Amino acid sequence: MPQTQPAIGEMMAANVPMVRTLGLEFRETTPQRAVVALPDQSAYHNHVGGPHAGAMFTLAESASGAIVLAAFGDQLSRALPLAVRAEIGYTKLAMGEVTATAELGRPAAEVVAALDAGERPEFPVLVAIRRPDGAVTAEMTIVWTLRPHG
């Protein structure tokens, strides 16, 4: 059974130093969706007073990792989830707290079936970063794989 919301946020904070460094807040983590927030912190601002692009990238990547753990946590005994590549587009000025919402771009059952067939499946996770007024400030696609152990 997939991990619960608090367990995933706590696990990521314990094992991913950048999650702790940025103070990311895991608001929702289910196999269908992960929502993670980056609080407004002046230490991580850019030259215009909003969240730095690197902090936003880390926020989006962390949200993608949360949904991967929620969707495939029951596969950890036989495969390691790894990010393969990512692309991000910054579309509007971000100010204040920003929130990343991640969704799987391929059905989880299809990914597990490929793993069952002896493949090393790849799958995209789509992430939208929004500012408090709901405007999308960045969109990211990160491709993950489940690398079988051994």
Angle between helix 108-116 and helix 53-72 axes, rounded to 10 deg:
70
CATH number at residue 21: 3.10.129.10
Mind listing the pLDDT tens digit of every residue in the chain (150 residues)? Answer: 444 556 899 999 999 999 999 999 999 999 999 999 999 999 999 999 999 999 999 999 999 999 999 999 999 999 999 999 999 999 999 999 999 999 999 999 999 999 999 999 999 999 999 999 999 999 999 999 999 997
Helix (H, G, I), strand (E, B) or coil at 115: helix
Amino acid at 125: V
Number of domain units in the chain: 1
d(C-alpha 55, C-alpha 18), whole Å:
9
Task: Look up the pTM and report it.
Answer: 0.93
Q: Which domain holds residue 109?
A: 5-148
Residues near 40 by beta carbon (within 8 Å), at least 6 away in sequence: 51, 96, 97
